């Protein structure tokens, strides 16, 4: 039996430590991991809990991230509660096995500490790895600070392991900005946290010899399509489960989470849509602009990146006063508009207000996102609203040195 860990009502934890404590409280059976900056302390912490008797589980050292996710797949198929952590290059090396995990419907939880992808090599936070996981069939939930990294890691188990979902879940937080920034965190007592997460209930576990099953089967054109369609439906249907788990979490903690967080949108004329720790900076900037300049700014933040909350993004943007929306992508777009811009624009197209949509790329490789820069972008949206058309290039770059870079204009002929 695992020892109880003494916790204060308020702790000063960084996002990594917060996530590792959540993994401990969920009493994971197996963590297979290959540590990588900046997520290393999560699995390091879990290893220490195992060694010191705070978890009744197994830490499996592997030779690579491909091996780490493979180990997780094996342990999850065998019938255990499984988690790991990774970032960046490690995430990229896992890519093949991520699809195996979701296709096999194994509810593994992976705490991803978002970091840029090489080249050039960079250990700092951006959303390249999170975006790489977009089509992998995992649920992706995004924490904006250390408290949320703790809370949402607990929720991740409930969501992924739910019998109607049975899908792997990534719980994202921003490298360094969240993972290495200590702040007040209000943890749950071990017993309360575990009760919320609940006992692991295996489904079709391979170690149940009384009922043999096949995992990782091959299907060709006869059944593959149906499997993938069912998997997609499971992802789409997980929306209500996510809502229910968030509602239950609010009941025990008072902390409310939604698949789309929306701030000051009731009367907003312009809005920013973004992900991760920058959401908090943008909300602060919007509050200040409302006070200082009377500018009606709102912020919308998809908490749930996958399944993409098309429904709730549309609802958040369906505000009659809304004229101009800027979507900020913290990942190199690789010759396209930012992915968030594309997805949010599609949702906005089906609103009545149909606001003007613009795109900023920002924060690559950990470039600081300043309150003043958020305000500048908000004022620029207001200029579009006043002019009645987009006055800049549709895609621009925030905080970039060198000549101004931008692409595409609205056709006005």
Residue 12 interacts with another protein (CB under 8 A): yes or no: yes
Residue 275 interacts with another protein (CB under 8 A): yes or no: no
Residue 290 interacts with another protein (CB under 8 A): yes or no: no
Side-by-side strand order, sheet with 297-302: 260-263, 297-302, 270-273, 324-329, 356-361, 395-397, 406-407
Residue 181 interacts with another protein (CB under 8 A): yes or no: yes
184 or 350, CB closer to another protein?
Answer: 184
302 or 363, CB closer to another protein?
Answer: 363
What's the start-to-end Cα distance of the chain, in Å?
73
Round the CA-based radius of gyration of the chain to a whole number and report it: 21
- Contacting residues for 127 by C-beta, under 8 A, at least 6 apart: 114, 275, 276, 329, 330, 331
Q: Which of 183, 231, 351, 391 binds another protein (CB under 8 A)?
A: 183
Min CB(265)–another protein separation in Å: 17
Kind of pairing, strands 297-302 and 270-273? Answer: parallel
Kind of pairing, strands 406-407 and 297-302? Answer: unpaired
9 or 199, CB closer to another protein?
Answer: 9
Min CB(20)–another protein separation in Å: 16
> 355-374 mask for another protein (x: CB under 8 A)?
-------------xxxx---
Residue 253 interacts with another protein (CB under 8 A): yes or no: no
Q: Which of 262, 277, 324, 358 binds another protein (CB under 8 A)?
A: 277
25 or 145, CB closer to another protein?
Answer: 145
16 or 84, CB closer to another protein?
Answer: 16
Q: Which residues between 120 and 149 bind another protein (CB under 8 A)? A: 144-145
CA pair distance 51, 320, nearest whole angstrom:
57
- Contacting residues for 225 by C-beta, under 8 A, at least 6 apart: none
DSSP string across 215-265 = -S----TTTHHHHHHHHHHHHHHHHHHHHHHHHHHHHHH-----SEEEES-
Quick count: other Cβ atoms within 10 Å of Cβ 98?
Answer: 22
201 or 371, CB closer to another protein?
Answer: 371
Residue 353 interacts with another protein (CB under 8 A): yes or no: no
Residue 169 sits at φ, ψ, to 5 deg, of: -130, 130
- Contacting residues for 135 by C-beta, under 8 A, at least 6 apart: none
Residue 161 interacts with another protein (CB under 8 A): yes or no: no
- Strand (E) or helix (H) holding 33: strand 30-33
Q: What is the largest CA-CA distance in the chain?
A: 73
| # of chain residues touching another protein (CB under 8 A) | 25
Min CB(98)–another protein separation in Å: 28
Residue 394 interacts with another protein (CB under 8 A): yes or no: no
Min CB(123)–another protein separation in Å: 9
Residue 213 interacts with another protein (CB under 8 A): yes or no: no
Residues that bind another protein (CB under 8 A): 8, 10-12, 14, 144-145, 176-178, 180-184, 277-278, 280-281, 283-284, 368-371
């Amino acid at each position: 039996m695992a020892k109880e860990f003494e916790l204060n009502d308020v702790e000063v934890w960084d996002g990594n430590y917060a996530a590792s404590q959540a993994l401990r409280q969920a009493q994971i059976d197996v963590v297979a991991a290959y540590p990588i900056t900046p997520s290393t302390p999560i699995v390091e912490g879990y290893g220490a809990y195992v060694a010191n008797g705070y978890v009744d589980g197994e830490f499996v050292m592997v030779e690579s991230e491909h091996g780490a996710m493979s180990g997780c797949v094996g342990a999850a198929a065998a019938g255990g509660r499984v988690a790991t952590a990774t970032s960046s290059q490690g995430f990229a090396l896992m890519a093949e096995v991520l699809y195996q995990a979701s296709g096999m419907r194994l509810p593994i939880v992976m705490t991803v500490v978002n970091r840029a992808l090489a080249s050039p090599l960079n250990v700092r936070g951006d959303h390249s790895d999170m975006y790489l996981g977009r089509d992998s069939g995992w649920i992706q939930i995004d924490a904006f600070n250390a408290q949320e990294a703790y809370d949402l890691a607990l929720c991740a188990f409930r969501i992924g392991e739910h019998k109607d979902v049975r899908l792997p879940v990534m719980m994202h937080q921003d490298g360094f900005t969240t993972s290495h920034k200590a702040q007040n965190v209000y943890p749950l007592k071990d017993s309360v946290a575990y009760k919320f997460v609940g006992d692991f209930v295996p489904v079709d576990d391979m170690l149940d010899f009384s009922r043999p099953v096949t995992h990782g089967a091959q299907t060709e054109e006869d059944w593959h399509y149906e499997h993938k369609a069912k998997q997609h439906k499971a992802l789409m249907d997980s929306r209500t489960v996510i809502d229910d788990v968030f509602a239950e979490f609010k009941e025990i903690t008072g902390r409310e989470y939604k698949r789309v967080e929306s701030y000051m949108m009731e009367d907003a004329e312009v809005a920013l849509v973004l992900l991760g720790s920058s959401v908090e900076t943008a909300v602060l900037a919007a509050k200040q602009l409302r006070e200082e300049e009377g500018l009606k700014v709102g912020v919308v933040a998809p908490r749930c990146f996958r399944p993409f909350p098309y429904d709730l993004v549309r609802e958040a943007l369906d505000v009659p006063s809304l004229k101009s929306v800027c979507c900020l992508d913290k990942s190199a777009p690789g010759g396209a508009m930012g992915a968030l811009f594309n997805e949010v624009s599609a949702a906005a197209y089906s609103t009545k207000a149909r606001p003007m949509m613009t795109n900023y790329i920002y924060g690559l490789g950990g470039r600081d996102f300043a309150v003043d820069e958020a305000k500048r972008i908000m004022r620029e949206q207001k200029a579009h609203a006043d002019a009645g058309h987009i006055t800049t290039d549709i895609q621009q770059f925030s905080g970039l040195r060198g000549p101004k870079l931008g692409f595409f204009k609205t056709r006005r002929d």
